Amino acid sequence: MLSASFRLDPAFTIAPVSRRTFGSFVEHMGRCVYTGIYEPTHPTADSDGFRQDVLALTRELGVSTVRYPGGNFVSGYRWEDGIGPVADRPVRRDLAWHSLETNEVGIDEFMRWAGKAGVEVMYALNLGTRGVAEALDVQEYLNHPDRTRLAELRRSNGADKPYGISMFCLGNELDGPWQTGHKTAYEYGRLAAETARAMRAAEPDLELVACGSSSSSMPTFAAWEAEVLELTYDQVDYISAHAYYEPLDGDIGSFLASAVDMDHFINSVTATADSVGAKLKSKKRLKISFDEWNVWYLTRFQATRETEWQVAPPVIEDSYNVTDAVVVGSLLISLLRHSDRVTAACQAQLVNVIAPIRTEPGGAAWRQTIFHPFALTSRLAKGDVLRVEPAAPSYETARYGDVPLIDAVATHDPESGDVTVFVVNRSQDAPATLTVPLAGFGADLQVAETWTVHDDDPNATNTATDPDRVVPHDLAGATVTDGELRATLAPVSWSAIRLTRTA
């Protein structure tokens, strides 16, 4: 059996937990919108056509923010197509996913859905095929109160009050050659800076996200961020980061260590941004919006991609297993560990498309395995993120070298006194004993609740016919004894342990 330990102290904080870390993503892609969040003929559909079973699962998931409407889709999107009488809305080609977009759901419908889900909207602008004027138009429609043409148009469409969106993404993945309107770093940086400057003329307190690299494996990674930020540094608040992970060539060991790559990605973007800030002699510290991340079996998609022009075709509807859920849990640990710089993040996507929630048209909705670590982390991570340095054995990986078998982060809520430990065991065959001295908290703590995601079959999945095949269960035997938390972690497992003060 493996052995791991780390010490917790409330004095060693990283940053407060940001609720925006638990964001999601709704793109007009595949069945995310149509037969995902929206299906007027579904038995659970409300008067606006939204599936109430999906709404309930979204709330249970603990989503704070939703990025909309894309994604690659946004770089060819005309927002005006999705307002006004539905019967008058045009059907358009979506070049990104070779689909047909009916525009049955647009800004006003989505904002109503967001209100019902209780989420903040992070709105992505089209800077692929459009520019400053169109960005100002959609900003006016969304946020201006009245008396202008577009504000009055919004009011005539049923939204009397402005939507008050405060966070805008200045385009999407424009470093990628696949992106409609792909640009060089200089071309994009100039456009993003001018768009940001114009938008701030109307609303100075907006939070604006510049496009970072679409992947750390891009040949222009870091150079793209450096050039874009030299042009936009004073006008933006965030630089974006996107990353997806999958097991390559059956290499589960490297796959379980995916958070090592995410850590490196974040540290690299932080260093680049800070270097630009120093060069510009700025005291401002940019934040990172990690607004696309997840497990995605990308090589499988690239091998089977279809290009038929359909409405809401099934696209990248990956079925997730236990190992995938453990990796998702470890990526959340990485995001929390960097809460001093990563203050917004969006798991891509919410429904059906590489998603924690799956649906059948006219039928059931269910939780995929990756739903559980996200929902539990969102619910339990409160207060301040604590610095954790586990002492644990390591193992050799083909992609990332020597990697610790145990990874963890913890949070402490000063108001309630609760401490929550989030931990993964990456070993594929050995359990691990975990010991965490708690003397720094100065009061007796006891185990309040424990959860673990593990199965004897790491390839087990949830399906429409067996939606609860994989569910979190109690981490048996976790105790606080003599001022130490002690627990046994199963192989390939993610666990959360909440401690509270004794009465």
Q: Which residues are catalytic?
A: 173, 292
Q: Is 363 helix (H, G, I), strand (E, B) or coil?
A: coil
Going from the C-alpha of 18 to that of each of 278, 340, 385, the distances in angstroms are 26, 9, 9
For residue 23, give the nearest of 293, 286, 422 by alpha carbon.
293
Q: Is 55 helix (H, G, I), strand (E, B) or coil?
A: helix
Question: How many whole angstroms separate alpha carbon 133 and alpha carbon 283?
Answer: 31
The 10 Å Cβ neighbour count of residue 439 is 11
Question: How many whole angstroms separate alpha carbon 181 and alpha carbon 201?
Answer: 26
E-strand spans in 216-326?
Answer: 238-245, 287-295, 310-311
Radius of gyration of the chain (CA): 23
Angle subtended at Cα 107 by Cα 105 and Cα 110, rounded to the nearest 5 degrees: 65
Q: Which helix (DSSP H) or strand (DSSP E) does residue 343 occupy?
A: strand 342-348
* 390 neighbors 4 (Cβ within 8 angstroms): yes
Q: Is the dihedral of CA 192, 195, 197, 203 positive or negative?
A: negative
Report the number of secondary-structure helices (H) and strands (E) in the chain. Answer: 11, 25
* 31 neighbors 312 (Cβ within 8 angstroms): yes
Task: Please report, as a single letter, which amino acid is at residue 391.
Answer: A
